[in-house]
Amino acid sequence: MAEDRRRKTDMTRNETGPVTLIVPSHPKYLYVVRSALYPILTDAGFGRKDARRIILAVDEACSNIIKHAYEGDPTKSITMTVAEDADRFIVRLRDYGKKADPAKIAPRDLANIRPGGLGTLFIGAAFDTVTYDTNQEQGTLLTLEKKKQRVNV
């Protein structure tokens, strides 16, 4: 066992993305959203914990669309677009339901132990910028951005 060499697949990072996933607004597709995100996140260089938190945040944002924008109607659709540029990792969620009222969207008071209100907290914990764009003809475009850690290799 003289030689022990470890190689990592060297992938020329190309910025061709984005990846788009369209799922029905039924909670059973949250698992599909999470599963599709994981390899994109590891490929983007996120560690396990960051990847988990981003997945949790996107899951919560999709749950909110199902609950609030579509009021539980499972027959509508959610479009997720995942893109990256040199500095940021960007997830966009597009729905065609009741427009979000950004003024009403706020994390709960943590001192108040009650069920609910955690979703927006988790979204804010994972992403640096959270933007609800209601200037669409129909529905809302939610943009979630996370700055990339600059690692000089």
Q: Which is nearer to a second copy, 38 or 122 (CB)?
A: 38
Residue 44 contact partner, candidates ligand ADP, other proteins, a second copy, none, CB within 5 to 8 A by sort of partner: none
**Count of residues in the chain:** 153
Separation of alpha carbons 24 and 93, rounded Å = 13
66 near other proteins, judged by CB under 8 A: yes
Residue 151 contact partner, candidates ligand ADP, other proteins, a second copy, none, CB within 5 to 8 A by sort of partner: none
Q: Which is nearer to other proteins, 119 or 139 (CB)?
A: 119
In three-state secondary structure terms, 22 is strand
**Of 7, 14, 49, 153, the one binding a second copy by CB under 8 A:** 14
Separation of alpha carbons 103 and 120, rounded Å = 13
Residue 1 contact partner, candidates other proteins, a second copy, ligand ADP, none, CB within 5 to 8 A by sort of partner: other proteins
DSSP class per residue in 26-56:
SGGGHHHHHHHHHHHHHHTT--HHHHHHHHH
Separation of alpha carbons 146 and 90, rounded Å = 6
Phi-psi sector, 44: left (phi>0), alpha (psi -120 to 50), beta? alpha
Q: Look-up: residue for tokens 């700055």?
A: 147
Q: Which residues bind a second copy (CB under 8 A)?
A: 11, 14, 16-17, 19-24, 26, 28-29, 31-32, 35-36, 38-40, 43, 74-75
Q: Which residues bind other proteins (CB under 8 A)?
A: 1-11, 26-28, 30-31, 34, 39, 42, 49, 52-53, 55-56, 59-60, 63, 66-67, 110, 113-119, 121-122, 125
